[in-house]
Amino acid sequence: MNFDLTEDRQMLQDSLRRYLGDKYPVEHRNKVAYAEPFHDPSKWDELVELGALYALAGEDAGGMGGTGFDISVVFEELGRTLCPEPVLGALMASRILSAAGADQEALLSGATKYAVGLGELDAPYDLSQMTTEAKGGKLSGRKSIVYGGQAADGFLIAAKDGGSVSVYSVKAEDASVTGYGMMDGGGAAEVVLEDAPAELVLKDADAAIQDAINAGIVALCSEAVGAMEVLHKMTVEYLGQRKQFGRPIGTFQVLQHRAVDMLTEIVQARSIVIKAASELGGADASRYCSMAKNLIGRAGRQVAEEAIQMHGGIAMTWEYPGSHYAKRIIMIDAQLGDTDYHLMQVAAA
């Protein structure tokens, strides 16, 4: 099988890598990721100009990509710089809007920032247990940990609609939005709806919502792979610079073996992401996405912990970039279902 990128995807990857490497150094990232609005609006506009959002949607929706591999290319580059821009919300919203056949120009052009509200405090994964309801064109309920919600202009909200689950569009100004920063940078929000005016986007939306979640999982797993590769490179470079007993610690065989173990985990992680990306939109997409999320959670934790241990105390400091990479890799496991949850999904399948 040929794993090389197509010419278009290679151009997209090269453009994003150059831009993010130049415009999103870790110092700038840490400055904007932990202070309101928990991203850089000017850099959001520049990412849009590069075509990052258009790569997330198919041609029928006005985009130029939309496959699992297009998503993977974009988010792997975001992961390499820990970019906190709210692209995940745009991706998941685009998948739902595509299923509904709705116009996406405002989303893809970056004119309107979207976030998707699915989980609730008492129903983080099972939509059948949620309490948000639609009555008479208005929504009431609460959505928790809405990624990118702190900067959103509009929300796509999953709500009970009679005996089915539907998706409604709600303007941010019609909801009570409490934004906050996540511990690893970037933002999210709690969204409270009290008879909020809403427009039906898609009825009987279970399949579309699952597809959006699957796309989000491919995105997060790709982001993790990008971050893990950078952290591994950072660790190997440190092993070559740090000296003990008069020689670089990278010459010690036990540390060489541990560095190779890290690389092995990353290669396995990349392989499962490729498989999940190839299955996105297919009948087995959910199973392979759960497999990927479970493996990424386990591999990411090992890579992060090994990097911290081999660096020593410097890896725990705010000033050293490795600490932020380790934190982000670990926290990706908590988004859209953790290792244990997805293990149960695979077992159930």
Asked if 57 and 162 count as a contact pair (C-beta separation under 8 A), the reply is no
Give the pLDDT score at 243: 84
Q: What is the pLDDT along the chain (349 residues), one digit of tens a residue?
A: 566 788 889 999 999 999 999 999 999 999 999 999 999 999 999 999 999 999 999 999 999 999 999 999 999 999 999 999 999 999 999 999 999 999 999 999 999 999 999 999 999 998 889 999 999 999 999 999 999 999 999 999 999 998 899 999 999 999 999 999 999 999 999 999 999 999 999 999 999 999 999 999 999 999 999 999 999 999 999 999 998 888 988 889 999 999 999 999 999 999 999 999 999 999 999 999 999 999 999 999 999 999 999 999 999 999 999 999 999 999 999 999 999 999 999 999 8
Q: How far apart are the first and last CA of the chain?
A: 27
Helical axes 68-80 vs 253-279, angle rounded to 10°: 150
Element (H, E) at 337: none
Q: How far apart are CA 21 and CA 77, in angstroms?
A: 9
Give the pLDDT score at 48: 94
- Residue 163 sits at φ, ψ, to 5 deg, of -100, 10
The full set of domain ranges for the chain reads 7-108, 114-204, 207-348
Read off the pTM: 0.96
Q: Which fold has domain 7-108?
A: Butyryl-Coa Dehydrogenase, subunit A; domain 1 (1.10.540)
Asked if 48 and 107 count as a contact pair (C-beta separation under 8 A), the reply is no
Give the pLDDT score at 3: 66
Q: Is beta strand 138-147 parallel, antiparallel or unpaired with respect to 114-117? A: unpaired
Q: Which fold has domain 114-204?
A: Butyryl-CoA Dehydrogenase, subunit A; domain 2 (2.40.110)
Q: How far apart are CA 148 and CA 89, in angstroms?
A: 6
DSSP per-residue string spanning 247-268:
EEGGGSHHHHHHHHHHHHHHHH
For residue 248, what are the CA distances in angstroms to 254, 281, 282, 340? 13, 48, 49, 39
Q: How far is CA 122 from the centre of its chain?
A: 22
Q: How far apart are CA 231 and CA 225, in angstroms?
A: 10
Do the domains at 7-108 and 207-348 have one common CATH topology? no
Element (H, E) at 335: none
Element (H, E) at 181: strand 176-181
Q: Please list, in sequence order, all residues whose beta carbon lies within 8 angstroms of the beta carbon of residue 124, skipping any fewer than 6 positions away.
A: 144
The first and second tokens of residue 270, run together, are 């990349």
Which of these CATH numbers, 1.20.140.10, 3.40.50.720, 2.40.420.20, 2.60.120.370, describes 207-348?
1.20.140.10
Q: Among 223, 345, 231, which Cα is nearest to 296's?
A: 223
Q: What is the pLDDT of residues 123-135, one digit of tens each?
A: 999 888 999 999 9
Give the pLDDT score at 54: 96
Q: How far apart are CA 234 and CA 197, in angstroms?
A: 49
Give the pLDDT score at 2: 60
Q: How far apart are CA 45 and CA 26, in angstroms?
A: 19
For residue 188, what are the CA distances in angstroms to 86, 90, 133, 254? 9, 13, 22, 41
3-state class (DSSP) for residue 120: strand
Q: Among 149, 144, 114, which Cα is nearest to 132's?
A: 144
Q: Please list, in sequence order, all residues whose beta carbon lies within 8 angstroms of the beta carbon of residue 61, skipping any fewer than 6 positions away.
A: 94, 97, 98, 104, 108
